[in-house]
Amino acid sequence: MRIILAGPRGFCAGVNMAIEALESAIRAHGTPLYVYHEIVHNKWVVDWFRKQGVVFIDDLAKVPEGEHLLYSAHGVPPEVRRQATARHLRTIDATCPLVTKVHREAIQFAQQGFTIILIGHAGHDEVVGTMGEAPRAIRLIQTVADAEQVEVPDPAKVAYLTQTTLSVDDAAKIIEQLRRRFPKIVGTAKNDICYATQNRQETVRLLAPEADMVLVVGSQNSSNSRRLAELARTCGVQAHLIDGPNDIDLTWFSGKETVVFTAGASAPESLVQECVGLLRERFNASVETRMIREEKMRFALPEL
Ligand code: SF4
């Protein structure tokens, strides 16, 4: 068996920043330390912090007044910030700057009187946060069919935004349909899908033709990880989204010669290495790395 390790894979700059911020906050303030929603969408990472005394909450009423509260990489709606201020919580903002950028765009478009069509997944933390910035101006759509049907008060005054972790191909089709319906629609040059999501999808697109199977390390609730597995299947290759080595079924590999490994932006490299180690041990697999693009992006830590 031959394993191709796709690069770049795994942690993006936003996830690195959020995890380092939480580690620093634990060192500075001790535990219990509260985090609004999962720090990043990865089961292993969340469990690891939980063991250290971090409490993940969905309701600010569960945080005692005056305690430290960290906002996850996916961002929060302004209403959550207001509630935190009202409860005198000491907040640490680990929102990814690329998510904050989408929030700012939503505010600006709304102030200019645009109806904003947000392309994203209903209920995703990031989408909830962005919608909260301009709830009356935003219409959420998820599919090309939605783009065909969405109603706006003034078709000449429409803007679009996207969630940062969408499928590049699906988003392009939806935007194309929006442009057909609203020729004057405005948006950022391409979309708001972040560099890390785009790079990881590009590696799968380039390497899938060589693979008998693509394994994506990532959690089921990780949007960008799910998109990687879907993309591999769209390329005609069997793909599995796995949290780690315990999810691997050895019967999958019967007759498989080349396995491409990638990882979503919230999946730790240690889990990839554990999976690779298992296949090396069981199938005497060789391993090569294929780096499609270097990533040098870094984000500064928030104030603690
Ligand atoms: S996937 Fe993109 S938007 Fe999300 S945290 Fe990482 S860099 Fe930021």
- As a whole number, the mean pLDDT across the chain is 97
Q: Which amino acid is at 245?
A: P
Task: Say if CB 290 and CB 7 are below 8 A apart.
Answer: yes
- Specify the residue for token string 């990533």: 295
- Condensed to tens digits (0 to 9), the pLDDT of residues 95-123 reads 999 999 999 999 999 999 999 999 999 99
**% of residues, the chain, pLDDT over 70:** 100
Residues with CB under 6 A from ligand 1: 12-15, 73, 96, 98-99, 164-165, 194, 196-197, 224, 265
In this structure, how many other beta carbons lie within 10 angstroms of the beta carbon of residue 139?
Answer: 15
Residue 156 Cα to ligand 1 middle (Å):
31
Q: Which amino acid is at 225?
A: S
Task: Say if CB 200 and CB 264 are below 8 A apart.
Answer: yes
Burial of residue 202, with CB atoms counted within 10 A of its CB: 0-12 exposed, 13-18 middle, 19 or more buried: middle
Helices (H) and strands (E) counted in the chain, each on its own, are 10, 12
Let me know if 303 is a catalytic residue: no
- Specify the residue for token string 């690891």: 48
DSSP code for 157: S
Strand pairing report for 115-119 and 158-162: parallel
Q: Which residue's CA lies nearest to atom 2 of ligand 1?
A: 194
Q: Indicate if the pLDDT at residue 255 is higher than 90.
A: yes
Measure the CA–CA gap between 105 and 263, rounded to whole angstroms.
29
Of 38, 105, 126, 133, catalytic: 126
Measure the CA–CA gap between 84 and 68, rounded to whole angstroms.
10
Question: Model confidence at 171, in pLDDT bands (50, 70, 90)?
Answer: very high
Q: Which residue's CA lies nearest to atom 8 of ligand 1?
A: 14
- Condensed to tens digits (0 to 9), the pLDDT of residues 196-220 reads 999 999 999 999 999 999 999 999 9
Q: Indicate if the pLDDT at residue 191 is higher than 90.
A: no
Q: Which of 42, 98, 297 to mutate to test the pocket of ligand 1 (most atoms within 8 A of CB)?
A: 98
33, 68, 177, 231 from 26: Cα distances, Å? 7, 10, 47, 37
- Condensed to tens digits (0 to 9), the pLDDT of residues 59-75 reads 999 999 999 999 999 99
What would the mean pLDDT of 140-150 be, rounded to a whole number?
98
Provide the pLDDT for residue 190: 72
Q: Indicate if the pLDDT at residue 189 is higher than 80.
A: no
